[in-house]
């Protein structure tokens, strides 16, 4: 029974680790998009293109909603001192 519990624990940890890696990859992609949108916004600003600025701002805000949940999850995990070994 000990071996079964240990194997189950390892499967769960591997799954958690994989999910975290996938989430971090998504976050990296989101940050790259944010960087691109901010650069576009600056270009529209320099060209005094209010419509372009508004469009990029909306994209930025949409991507920010995708970034913030991970930050909250990490804060909760840290505050509870969840340990993954």
Report in angstroms the alpha-carbon separations of 51 from 4, 9, 34, 59, 80. Answer: 60, 53, 18, 13, 45
- Helix/strand/coil for 82: coil
pLDDT in tens, 46-67: 999 999 999 999 999 988 887 7
Q: What is the pTM of this model?
A: 0.64
Give Cα 3 distance to the centre of its chain. Answer: 35
Answer yes or no: is pLDDT of 79 > 90. no
Q: Which residue has the tokens 């940050």?
A: 31
Give the separation between CA 43 and CA 79, rounded to whole angstroms. 40
Answer yes or no: is pLDDT of 77 > 60. yes
């Amino acid at each position: 029974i000990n071996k079964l519990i240990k194997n189950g624990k390892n499967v769960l940890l591997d799954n958690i680790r994989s999910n975290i890696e996938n989430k971090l990859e998504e976050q990296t992609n989101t940050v790259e998009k944010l960087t691109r949108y901010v650069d576009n916004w600056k270009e529209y600003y320099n060209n005094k293109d209010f419509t372009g600025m508004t469009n990029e701002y909306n994209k930025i805000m949409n991507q920010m909603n995708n970034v913030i949940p991970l930050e909250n999850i990490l804060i909760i995990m840290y505050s509870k001192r969840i340990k993954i070994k």
